[in-house]
Structure formats: C-alpha cells, structure tokens
Amino acid sequence: MIKYTMVLLLFMGLAWGQCSDGEVELWDECYTIETTYELYLSDQQLSGTIPAEIEELTNLMFLDVSNNNLEGEIPPEIGNLVNLLGMDLSGNMLTGDIPSEVGNLTNLMVLILSDNQFSGAIPPEIGNLSSLIDLYLFNNQLSGSIPPEIGNLVHLSGLILNGNQITGTIPAELATLSSLNYLLLNDNLLYGVIPESICSLELNWSSIYNFNISNNQLCPPYPDCIEPFVGNQTIIDCDGIVELWDELYFAEGMTELSLANQGLTGPIPAEIGYFTHLTHLDLSYNQLTGSLPVEIGNLDSLRYFNVAYNQLTGQIPSSIGNLSRLTDFKLYSNSIAGSLPAEMGNLIYLEYLNVYNNQLTGAIPPELGNLNNLNKLYLHHNQFSGELPTEIFSLTDLTDLYLNDNQFTGVLSSEITFLENLERLRLQNNQLSGLIPEEICDINLDWSNLISFNISNNYLCQPYPYCIQGYEGNQDTSNCSQVSIIDPTLPLFYELHNTVPNPFNPLTTIQYALPVNTGVQMTIYDMMGRVVKTLVSGIQGPGFKSIQWNATNDRGESVSAGIYLCTIEAGHFRQTRKMVLLK
C-alpha cells in the first residue's frame, strides 16, 4: 500500500509540475523559448484564452491555432512576436477589437482572423504590415470603415473582408494594390460611389471567387469594369450622389475632399454646398475660375478651407461667416476683389487667415478683432486702404502680422504694444504717417531682421523709438513738419524699456526715460531677490537714458546663466523687467 501511494504521488507531481527554466507553458504544454519556431495546434480542442505568455516565444515564425474553442480577446502582447511570418486564429470564438499591436508584426505575410466574433474597426496600424500577402478577416462583426492605410500593402494578393458590418466608402487607395488577385467585400454595409480608379486593378472581375461586392449599399453609376458584376445593391440611400468636375461623390459620407493640384478648371460648382459634413476642403493649385459660390456657407462643419493658387475672381461671399468652426482659411494668390466681409468676424476659432496677393480693397473690418484665436494674419499685396483698426491690436495671440504692400494710411496706434506674442511685423510699402509710438519697443521683435520687422517706404516721422533706430528704412518725411512734437528730447513719462537684446550673452542694453530731475536707483536681482549688481544710484536729469550690463556682479565676477530682474526706482515710480542670460 505504501509503495502504491508513493507511485501515485510521483505521478501527480509530474502531472502538476511546472515548466523548466527556458520554457513557457501554453495550453498545458511546455515549449522551449529559444527553439520553438512553429506552433501548429489546429483542431486540437484548445479552450480558454490565448495566454499573454505567448509573447515569450520570441523566435516564433508560424502560429496556427485555428478551429479550436478559444475565446476572449487577442492579447496585445501578440505584437511582441516580431518574427512571425504567418498567423491563423480562424474558426474560434475570439471577441473584442483587433489590437493595434498587430501592426508591430511587420514581417507578417499571412494574417487569418476569419470566422470569429471580432468587433470594432480594422485598426489603421494594419497598414504597417508591408510584407503582407493575404489578409482574411471575413465572417466577423467588424464595423467602421476600411482604413485607407490598407493601400500601403503593396504585396497584398488577397483582401477578404466579406460577412462583416463594415461601413463607409471603398477607399480609392485600394487602387494602389497592384498585386491584388482576390477582393471580397460582399455582405457588408458599404455605401457611396465606387472610385473609378478601382479599374486599374487586374482582377478577374467576372469571377465571384476573385471579386465580390454584392449585398452592400453601393451607388450607381458604377465603373465600367465592374458594372456587370456588382451584384445586389440596396440603393435607396443614393440620393446624396453629387457630381463635381466629372466625378461622382457621396456627399453625405464625406468628411474630407482633397483635390489639390488635380488640373481642375472652371468654377467651383454650387453643388459643393451639399457636402455638409466636410471638415477639410482643399482645392488649391488648380485653374479654378469664377467666384466663390455662396453655397460654401453651407459647410458649417468645415475646419480647413484652401483655394490658394487658382484664378478665382469676384468677391468673398458674406456666407463665409457661417463657417463658425473654421480654423484655417487660405485664399492667397487669386484675383479676388472687393472688401473683406464683416461677417468674417464670426469665425471665432480661426487661427490662420491668408488672403495674400489678391485685389482686395477697402478698410480692414473692425470685426476681425473678434478673432481671438488668430495666430497668423496675412493681408499683404492687396489694395487695402484706410487706417489700421485698433481692434486688430487686441489679437494677443498673433505671431505674424503682414499688412505690407497696401495703401493703409493714418498713424500707428500705441495699442500695438498689446501684441506681446508678435514675432513678425511687416508694414512696408504703405502710406502710414506720423510718429511711431515708443511703446512699440515693448514688443520683443528682432528689429534688425527684415523678415521679422519692416516699416520702410512709408511717411513715418522722426524721432524714431530707440529700438528701431537704424532699421526704419526709407521714409518720406517731407510732410513731417506738420507733425506736432512736444519737446522730443524729453520724455513725458517714467519708463523702463525692455532690454535689448533679450535673451543676451554677454552684454545687454537697458534704456529708460526720466521726465524730471530725480533720484534714480537701478538694481539687478536674481530670482531669489538677492542683489546682484547696482547699475545706477544717484540724481539724474530728465531725458532718455541708456546703460549696459555685462553680466557681472558688484564684485566684477561673471554671473551664471539664468533669469534676472532689472528694477528701476525713481521718486514714486518703480518698474521691473525680466532678462534672460544665456551661456
């Protein structure tokens, strides 16, 4: 009896034993990590889930667990099997999304996930599998659209997606699959127009084993190559088909229309107004003529609108103000005339506005001051006139302000100093006159760089603010005697200007203004509030003053890189400016 018990215990110990070092247990079997290159476990009555530990078989090249009873989701760790050439998980009860980590298997040549219960969209990362030859995803519950990234799979021979719930249109990118022999998309929910480019594929269109798109909602007219072979289609929702430039589009299903540099001619059709779901419209670099249609105002989901480099004429329709979600509007290099409509002030999300090189006239509408998100405003090379509305100086996010080569008149408002983020200011070749406000020096521009700052060829009068002296360019000052100057040699107010340059290394210039004779104390502090250097201490007369700091302390020692504060105290006046020392 004792001998029998010992034998039984020994047997149980072997049965319940763990795998040795260098092995991994999968479905109650041990596999050597280093030398397991293939797992062919088809029809083995496997159950449970695919263990995450399968990732340890880093040399695995072929994985076949088809026709079992596996359930659950594909573990994302599957993406670590980067040496896989073939993977077949078909004929199970697997659920959930196809993990995006599958896109890491860039050596994969065959991927078979058919006859499961996968749901969700085909991950766009599938387009990373540049070696893929066969992609079989049929008979699942996949939804969403066919990702255009599939067009990257230039070696693909079989694309089998039938028997799912895939929606959207057939992407034109499929036409790039020059090696394709099998395209089965039947029994889905595909809709819209089939791209004509599909005819570039060399498929056996007449064989349902090679080509099948039946039982969808695809709309006529069909490309000539497939018209006899489209099978049954539910076309009750095909009223949204719109023709633009001799091509048919399904307006209801489109969010992006990119036709840049396509040789388009003629006017923009009024039918563009049917594409109410568009967020991106690019018609740039064509030969389009005529006016922007008023129907463009129907595209109230539009965020990006580009019609640059065409031959458009007429005026900007006031309906443009309906595009309340627009962030980018590019109209440059056309022949658009008239004025900017005041309704453009409704485009409160606009970040980029470029109407450069047109024939626009009139004043800048003050309503542009509503565009608080605007970063870049390009109005140059037009025929704008009138004074610059002070409202545009409230656009504190502006980095680029190009108003050059127009016919603007009047003086430059001191409110320009509100443009604290400005990096480029171009006002040259206008008819601006009068004095330039000293406050302009509060803007941290690279005054010496003509790309960053240019005010030449105007009628601006001396004295010029200290920061732009020598950079004012050519000015017609013949009428400057009519400008009223109140003792230009004396400032009217106390002021500490921004240091120039800033950041600096190793020297910066500090300018300040004293309207009266007074005691002055100017001190450099570090960010801890400790005195670094006393630059001025004593009585000074009125005037514009300047002093340099060479990045040393009161002991003559060089100070380290960092942020420093320059503070001036004069009578009851106190002001501080921040400086950055680079090393």
Give pLDDT tens digits for 164-178. Answer: 999 988 998 999 999
* Residue of higher predicted confidence among 477 and 518: 477
* Residue of higher predicted confidence among 355 and 276: 355
pLDDT of residue 504 exceeding 50, the answer is yes
C-beta separation of 323 from 303 below 8 A: no
C-beta separation of 155 from 130 below 8 A: yes
Q: Which helix (H) or strand (E) holds 14?
A: helix 2-15
On average, the pLDDT of the chain sits at: 90
pLDDT for position 463: 86
pLDDT for position 489: 59
Q: How many CB atoms lie within 10 A of CB 202?
A: 10
CB burial of residue 4 (10 Å; 0-12, 13-18, 19+):
exposed
* Domain spans of the chain, in order of start: 19-241, 255-482, 495-581
pLDDT for position 243: 79
pLDDT for position 1: 39
| Alpha helix ranges (H) inside 384-506 | none
Interatomic CA distance for residues 187 and 128, integer angstroms: 26
CATH pick for 255-482 out of 3.80.10.10, 3.40.50.1220, 3.30.2320.30, 3.30.70.980: 3.80.10.10
Average pLDDT over residues 125-150: 96
pLDDT for position 57: 95
Q: Which of 53-62, 84-93, 232-241, 361-370 has the lowest mean pLDDT?
A: 232-241
Q: Strands 217-219 and 247-250: what pairing?
A: unpaired
Domains 19-241 and 255-482 belong to one CATH topology: yes
Furthest CA-CA distance within the chain: 126
pLDDT for position 425: 96
Average pLDDT over residues 540-567: 90
Q: Find residue 564's DSSP bridge partners.
A: 526, 579
Interatomic CA distance for residues 242 and 259, integer angstroms: 15
Asked if the bond preceding 123 is cis, omega within 30° of 0, the reply is no
pLDDT for position 12: 38
Average pLDDT over residues 482-501: 69
Average pLDDT over residues 463-479: 89
Q: Percentage of residues in the chain with pLDDT exceeding 70?
A: 95
pLDDT of residue 516 exceeding 90, the answer is no
pLDDT for position 142: 97
Asked if the bond preceding 124 is cis, omega within 30° of 0, the reply is no
Interatomic CA distance for residues 421 and 425, integer angstroms: 11
Q: What is the pLDDT of residues 282-336, one digit of tens each?
A: 999 999 999 999 999 999 999 999 999 999 999 999 999 999 999 999 999 999 9
pLDDT for position 488: 53
What CATH class has 495-581? mainly beta
pLDDT of residue 236 exceeding 80, the answer is no
CATH pick for 19-241 out of 3.30.930.10, 3.30.565.10, 3.80.10.10, 3.20.20.70: 3.80.10.10
SS3 461: strand
Q: What is the pLDDT of residues 187-202, one digit of tens each?
A: 999 988 888 889 999 9
Q: Comparing C-alpha atoms, which of 385, 577, 555 is closest to residue 499?
A: 577
* Residue of higher predicted confidence among 79 and 492: 79
pLDDT of residue 272 exceeding 50, the answer is yes
Q: pLDDT-based confidence at 485, cuts 50/70/90?
A: very low
536-541 long-range Cβ contacts below 8 angstroms, 24+ apart: 536/568, 540/514, 541/514, 541/517
